[in-house]
Amino acid sequence: MSDVKTQYEAFPYPQRDPRDEKKRLISGSPSHPLEMDHHLFGGMRDWSATTRILVAGGGTGDALIQLAQVLTTAKKAYEITYIDLSSASREIAEARAKMRGLTGITFISGSLLDAAKYGPFDYIDCCGVLHHLPDPQAGFDALSAALHPDGGIGVMVYAPYGRTGVYPLQEAFGALTKGLPPEDQLKMAKSVFAALPDNHPFKRNPHLVDHKQSDAGFYDLLLHSQDRPYGIDQLLEALDQSGLQFAGVPQPYLYDLRRFAARSDALDDAAAMALAEKLDGTIKTHVVYARPKSAAMRTAGQTGRAIPHLKGMNARALAKAVVAKGAIPVTLNGVTHQVEIAKAAAPILAGVDGRRDLATLQKGAGLDPLAWAAIWPKASRSLEQFGLLLYSRLLA
């Protein structure tokens, strides 16, 4: 058995108790239907057809449960294939789905390298997996080969700078615990960890918390036998090599070089994003959406039929804050930014409910096309930059 499979049989990750499904739904990126629609399908996906989804390396089921539950609640048809090497993880994912009464899921114990056998898929979700493969590019290629020509993929891989301090410890713990069973590795690494100086770069990095949350988290972060981070430019290169084109990130602001410096014309997009990543320094994972190179790229929010959704915000409260200050505070990776939004956008924002389209919102706010064009596109873009506004006709 490979070390990676042994790890995830011993410590299914993330650690989850199926009984908690009665209390809460875990939400995250990628894997939310609104977010994938916005970035991959220009917010205009036709949800009336069955959406075929692959959750590759689905682990204990966070992405699977989020996708299946949101689509079930929205009464949209789906077929989801879950695949993972670890049968212990699969059992937990299955128990969580059962606890919620979710159907339409096929569970497979196996490798995502065989994904094409089960495809093609409209959407492939692969969160926190490809950087653990012995040959990650083979994983990118396998997922690309399993995509429908008009489909898209949502990927999360580790990033280097926000994980400062992790890799020297992984190397040291790996050498010290070599050959021991996973439980003994954990015990030994925990006792060595306790002896590290408080000013070790790992201990001073406030963005790293997994090791405090569970044994599976400690093992995954500090004892992984196979783990390589990607700079954003390296990730875009890996996607390109597998025949995919970049379609978006949940918070484009993080990768905007203009936060720090003027952008020279000589820089291509990947190089500019890579500089922003280095200057930001807090990014510990990249979530990226991509489409086959042959697929048409669509920008969300371009027609009157587009339906905006606010993410994690109440429309009335947002409108009130905009009227009061012309800006709202948004915290990303521990840093609070003031996002400016024209006060004139407040009456439009107050009407955003995930069901009204832009044409209806314009009418409701009593704005003629010129006034609308002067207010809405800018307000929408500002919120989109921070991942706070997504377009989708999921609830139409």
Ligand X SMILES: C[S@@+](CC[C@H](N)C(=O)[O-])C[C@H]1O[C@@H](n2cnc3c(N)ncnc32)[C@H](O)[C@@H]1O
Q: Can residue 248 be called a binding residue for ligand X (CB under 6 A)?
A: no
d(CA 295, CA 247): 11
Length of the chain: 396
| Site membership for ligand X, residue 70 (CB under 6 A) | no
329 secondary structure, DSSP code: E
Asked if 13 touches ligand X (CB under 6 A), the answer is yes
Least distance between ligand X and beta carbon 67 (Å): 12
Indicate if the alpha-carbon torsion angle 183, 189, 194, 199 is positive or negative: negative
What burial class does residue 138 get, using C-beta atoms within 10 Å of its C-beta: 0-12 exposed, 13-18 middle, 19+ buried? middle
Task: Give min distance, CB of 79 to ligand X, in A.
Answer: 19
Instruction: Please identify which residue in 4, 34, 273, 288 interacts with ligand X, judged by CB under 6 A.
Output: 4
- Give the x/- contact pattern for ligand X in 203-222, rule: CB under 6 A: -----------------x--
Question: Cα separation of 285 and 158, whole Å?
Answer: 4
Side-chain-side CA neighbours of 241 within 13 Å: the count stands at 13
Q: How far is the CB of 129 from ligand X (least distance, A)?
A: 4
Distance CA 14, CA 393 (A): 31
Contact 267, 260 (CB under 8 A): no
Please identify which residue in the block is written with the tokens 């400690």: 218
Q: Which residue in 44, 68, 92, 129 binds ligand X (CB under 6 A)?
A: 129
8 binds ligand X (CB under 6 A): yes
The span of 34-42, 51-59, 316-324, 329-337 binding ligand X (CB under 6 A) equals 51-59
Among 58, 162, 231, 250, indicate the residue that binds ligand X (CB under 6 A).
58
| Stretch touching ligand X by CB under 6 A, among 68-76, 109-117, 244-252, 359-367 | 109-117
Size of the site for ligand X (CB under 6 A): 23
Question: Which region, judged by CB under 6 A, interacts with ligand X, from 72-80, 99-107, 124-132, 170-178?
Answer: 124-132
Whole-number minimum distance, CB 158 to ligand X, in Å?
10
SS3 labels along 344-380: HHHHHHHCCCCCCCHHHHHHHCCCCHHHHHHHHHHHH
Interacting residues of 20 by C-beta distance below 8 A, sequence separation 6+:
none
62 interacts with ligand X by CB under 6 A: yes
Q: Is 141 in the site for ligand X (CB under 6 A)?
A: no
CB of 176 to ligand X, least distance (A): 22
Q: How far is CA 381 from the centre of its chain?
A: 20
Per CB under 6 A, does 85 bind ligand X?
yes
- Least distance (Å) between residue 310 CB and ligand X: 25
Q: What one-character-per-residue DSSP string does 42-64 give? A: TT---TTSPEEEEEET-TTSHHH
Minimum distance, C-beta of residue 63 to ligand X, in the bound complex (Å)? 6
Decide: residue 48, CB within 10 A, 0-12 exposed, 13-18 middle, 19+ buried: exposed
- Name which of 102 and 350 has its Cβ closer to ligand X: 102
Is residue 231 close enough to count as binding ligand X by CB under 6 A?
no
Q: Which is nearer to ligand X, 113 or 116 (CB)?
A: 113
Burial of 161 (0-12, 13-18, 19+ CB in 10 A): middle
Q: Which of 133, 287, 288, 306 binds ligand X (CB under 6 A)?
A: 133
In the complex, the residues that contact ligand X under the rule CB under 6 A are 4, 8, 13-14, 57-59, 62-63, 83-86, 89, 111-113, 127-129, 132-133, 220
